[in-house]
Amino acid sequence: MRDQFGRSIEYLRISVTDRCNFRCIYCMPESGITWLPKPQILTYEEIAAVVRQLAPLGLTRLRITGGEPTVRPQLETLISELHAVPGIEDIALSTNGAKLPQMAAMLRSAGLNRVNMSADSLRPERIAVIARRDLGFDPVVAATAATAAGLDPVKINVVVIRGVNDDEVEDFATLTLRHDWHVRFIELMPVGDLAHTEFANVVPSDEVLARITTRFGALDPANGPTRGNGPARYQRIPGAAGTIGVITPLTHTYCDSCNRVRLTADGRLRTCLYGDHEVNLRDALRAGEPLRPLFERALAEKPKEHELLKLRVGGLKALSEVGG
C-alpha cells in the first residue's frame, strides 16, 4: 500500500472512543467537547471488520488510541479480535496510564504487544493541574506495571510545555538510567486551548537535548533499533538501561516518512492528523460495501505534508477527536 508520493502505508491508528478521563491542557478544551452519539461509534466487531479488509492490502501494525481507550469497556475483547486477524504483526496501545496498573496484565494476555503512556509530570500536584483531573496517577507505578505484565517496549511520552513542566526534562531523563523505558519528549502541538499561543510555549527538541547533555554529558546513539512505528529519534545516556527520544512535528518535520493513517471512533479514515482530508468508511461498511476502493482513494489523496505550521488543522478542537 503506497500513497501518491510513494510512502508505504502499513500502520493504522484506531481510535475506539473520543472520551477521556483527563482534560489535558494540550489535548482537550477545559470545557470539554460534545461527545459522539453512541450509534455513530464503531462497534468492536466493525473495527475488526475494517482491519480484516485492510490487512490483506499490507496493513501489519495497529495502535489502539482514544480519547482514552481504557475507558471503553472490555477493551481486551477488541485486542483479542485484532490479534487473530491474519497479517497483523504488532498491536500497541496509547494511554494516559491511569488504569494501566489494573489492566496491563489482562491486555497483554489478550494480545497487546507494547504500550505508549503519556506522562507530563512526575509530581502529583502538577499532574492534576495539567490533566485538570486528580486520579492519583503515578507514571512510575504505571510503567512498572506495564513492564511486569510483559509489555515491551514501554514508551513514556512527555509533551514539553515552557513554563509548565519543562523544568522536569532532566528528571524524566533520569528514569532511563535504571529502567529499560523509552522516554520521548514531544514538541507541543498548538491545538484546542493552545491553538493561538504562537508557539510561545513550544520547547524545541534541540533545547531539550541540550539540557539533557548539560546534565549527563554527551549522549550515545541508541544501540540497535527501538521497535515502533513512529518518527522518534533515539539516543542514550552512557550506561543507561533505557533511551531518550524526541518527536519533532514543528522543528524537524517527518512527513516524508509518514507510514500511517487513522481511523476515528466514528469510522472516518483520516490520512493526516493535521489535515482535514477524511474518507467515511463507516457508512460503506454498514452498507456491506467493500472498503478497498475507499482506502485506495484515500491514499491517492493523502497530502504531502501536514499544515500544523500554518495553524490550519481542519477545525480540530481536541486531539481526542482523532486519536492524537
Q: Could you report the per-residue pLDDT of 260-302, keeping only the tens digit for each?
A: 789 999 999 998 776 677 899 999 999 999 999 999 888 888 7
pLDDT at 305: 66
Q: What's the mean pLDDT in 74-101?
A: 97
Q: Which three cell numbers stand for residue 106?
A: 489482562
The span from the CA of 264 to the CA of 270, in Å, is 7
Of residues 317 and 263, more confidence is placed in 263
pLDDT tens digits, 25-38: 888 777 777 889 99
Report the alpha-carbon distance of residue 194 to residue 191 in Å, rounded: 5
- Mean pLDDT to the nearest integer, 51-70: 95
Which helix (H) or strand (E) segment holds residue 286: the answer is helix 282-286
Instruction: Look at residue 312 and tell me whether its pLDDT is greater than 50.
Output: no
pTM: 0.89
CATH number of 11-321: 3.20.20.70
Asked whether 205 and 246 are in contact (CB, 8 A), the reply is yes
Q: Quick one: pLDDT at residue 12?
A: 94
Side chain identity, residue 66: G
Q: Where are the domains of the chain?
A: 11-321
3-state helix, strand, coil in the chain (%, to 5): 35, 20, 50
DSSP labels for 229-245? SS--EEEE-TT-SSEEE
- Residue 310: is its pLDDT beyond 70? no
pLDDT for 314? 46
CA distance 119 to 184: 10
Helices (H), 117-241: 124-131, 139-148, 169-178, 205-216
Question: Has residue 323 got a pLDDT over 80?
Answer: no
* pLDDT for res 250: 63
Percent of residues, the chain, with pLDDT higher than 90? 66
pLDDT at 122 over 80: yes
| pLDDT, tens digit, 9 for 90 and up, residues 168-220 | 999 999 999 999 999 999 988 765 555 555 456 889 999 999 999 999 999 99
Closest CA to 285 of 263, 306, 317, 307: 263
pLDDT digits (tens, 9 = 90+) for 218-261: 999 986 545 455 567 899 999 999 999 998 766 556 566 677 78
* Of the candidates 116, 142, 120, the residue with the CA atom closest to the CA atom of residue 61: 116
pLDDT of the residue at 313: 44
Amino acid at the residue 15: S
**pLDDT over 70, % of the chain:** 84
pLDDT at position 30: 75
C-alpha cell at 272: 493526516
pLDDT at 309 over 90: no
Mean pLDDT of all residues belonging to the chain: 87
